[in-house]
Structure 1
Amino acid sequence: MAKVGIVMGSDSDMPVMAKAAEILEKLGIEYEMTIISAHREPDVFYEYATSAESKGFKVIIAGAGKAAHLPGMCAAIFPMPVIGIPMKTSDLGGVDSLYSIVQMPSGIPVATVAINGGANAGILAAKILAASDPELLERVKDYSKELKQQVQEKDAKLQEIGYKAYMK
């Protein structure tokens, strides 16, 4: 079964990365979650990135803040898709992380989601895997239908009770 690697540079990234894991769980996708600092333990990082393919990973979701080298370094070593999640930072609000991840050199792409976009990273990983897995594609389609239904239920409530009561 295809697996997704979820890697983050710090445990402070866990709340965002957990959203990716929750989506993968909901869609029945196996994953492995790890904390590795590309800067503080480059040897451990290198082992992770070079062994990811042999572990069965088909996609890596990498979250990082500030200098945010983890996703780009994964993409430099791992031959399959890498999705970067820029973390919101106290210094520059995550724009630093976003620029660091999205501005990759030619030949080393990282698909990048919004700042703190853990859920979208999980959905994008699922869609990548669904391109070659018809059963997963059906689960992804069902998930999209659930999202549509949630919006329709919220609108029905708004129409029934009005915006003032809705906001209470």
Structure 2
Amino acid sequence: MAKVAIVMGSDSDMPVMSKAADFLDQMGIDYEMTIISAHREPDIFFEWAKGAEERGVKVIIAGAGKAAHLPGMCAALFQMPVIGIPMKTSDLGGVDSLYSIVQMPSGIPVATVAINGGQNAGILAAKILATSDAELLAKLKDFSKEMKDSVVEKDARLKEVGYRNY
């Protein structure tokens, strides 16, 4: 059973959404991924979102651009956490998407990551699931240590070779 549902409004969102999927794969978290347009096929979207809990979904990651209604509509229909990823658009650079997702009405929250923040959405979904999964929490702690070790190694290299040879 998928614990996370990744949904996007268009296949053009795939490069960003795949980063969330890659992180979930890294952590061994089952997920489903789908393309649904809340505007172009509302009947299919409503059925999908209303059935997520029954399918075992605990967190939805929803990416959307421009008007960016998909994450908010997920949050309106799904009573567990929804993480919104605003997509960078050619028109307004993703600021329109960011504002649409973070400016949800009271009572319908959407946790929102940075514009094109696919990996952070995957990490946040994992952290939410880790609140009740000690094995997953250990994997996240290992991931954090790997990030720290990487920075320490880069600093040591800088000190060894200097910035001109870095």
Query: What TM-score does the superposition give when structure 2 sets the normalisation length?
Result: 0.98
Could you say what the CA RMSD is over the residues aligned between the two structures, in angstroms?
Answer: 0.8
For residues 30 and 151 of structure 2, the distance between their equivalents in structure 1, rounded to whole angstroms, comes to: 28
Letter in 2 for 1:130: A
Letter in 2 for 1:135: E
Letter in 2 for 1:69: H
For residues 42 and 160 of structure 1, the distance between their equivalents in structure 2, rounded to whole angstroms, comes to: 58
The match for 1:42 is: 42
Cα-to-partner distance string for 1:48-74 (whole Å, 9 max, x where unaligned): 100100110000000000000000000
Letter in 2 for 1:158: L
For residues 40 and 163 of structure 2, the distance between their equivalents in structure 1, rounded to whole angstroms, comes to: 51
Letter in 2 for 1:87: M
The match for 1:14 is: 14
Deviation at 1:2, TM superposition (A): 5.9
Note the residue ranges of structure 2 that are not aligned, 5 or more in a row. Answer: none
Deviation at 1:164, TM superposition (A): 1.3
- 1:97 is the counterpart of 2:97: yes
- Give the SS at the match of 2:165: helix
The match for 1:124 is: 124
**Contact 2:6–2:34 under 8 Å retained in 1:** yes
For residues 43 and 160 of structure 2, the distance between their equivalents in structure 1, rounded to whole angstroms, comes to: 59
Letter in 2 for 1:150: S
For residues 2 and 124 of structure 1, the distance between their equivalents in structure 2, rounded to whole angstroms, comes to: 16
Note the residue ranges of structure 1 that are not aligned, 5 or more in a row. Answer: none
- Give the SS at the match of 2:163: helix
For residues 145 and 89 of structure 1, the distance between their equivalents in structure 2, rounded to whole angstroms, comes to: 34
Q: Which of structure 1's runs of 4+ aligned residues deviate more than 6 A?
A: none
**Count of paired positions:** 166
**Contact 1:2–1:129 under 8 Å retained in 2:** no
Letter in 1 for 2:146: E
Letter in 2 for 1:39: H
The match for 1:153 is: 153
